[in-house]
């Protein structure tokens, strides 16, 4: 009887460990996906501002365009230097989204 109780206890502990590992793996995958999405968005922004310079220039100032590119550069630098291990939200990302919307005149931003 004691052996059976010991086995049940070990099974419970094993299930707890597996559950914790699966949860950590799920968090890691979500974090990687979010950071990959951010990286893709930064590259998209930079490309759109440069590829559609004439169209964007018609509705923005050089200072606004430079600011958007600076935000993209700062986010990219943060992402590659400190941000990859970060677990919290970044305020600059919101700023980048906010500043892009008015320049494009479109629903999807630049």
Tens of pLDDT along 47-67? Answer: 999 999 999 999 999 999 999
Model pLDDT, residue 82: 75
In the chain, what are the helix, strand and coil shares in percent, each to the nearest 5? 85, 0, 15
Mean pLDDT of the chain: 80
Model pLDDT, residue 16: 93
Tell whether the model's pLDDT for residue 108 goes beyond 50: no
Question: Model-level pTM?
Answer: 0.64
Tell whether the model's pLDDT for residue 106 goes beyond 70: no
- CB-based contact 72:45 (threshold 8 Å): yes
């Amino acid at each position: 009887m004691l052996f059976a109780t010991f086995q049940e206890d070990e099974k419970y502990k094993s299930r707890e460990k597996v559950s914790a590992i699966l949860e950590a793996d799920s968090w890691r995958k979500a974090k990687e996906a979010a950071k990959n999405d951010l990286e893709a968005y930064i590259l998209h922004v930079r490309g759109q501002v440069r590829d559609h310079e004439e169209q964007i220039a018609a509705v923005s100032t050089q200072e606004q365009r430079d600011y958007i590119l600076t935000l993209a550069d700062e986010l990219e630098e943060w992402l590659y230097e400190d941000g990859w291990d970060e677990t919290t939200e970044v305020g600059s990302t919101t700023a980048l989204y906010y500043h892009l919307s008015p320049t494009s005149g479109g629903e999807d931003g630049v």
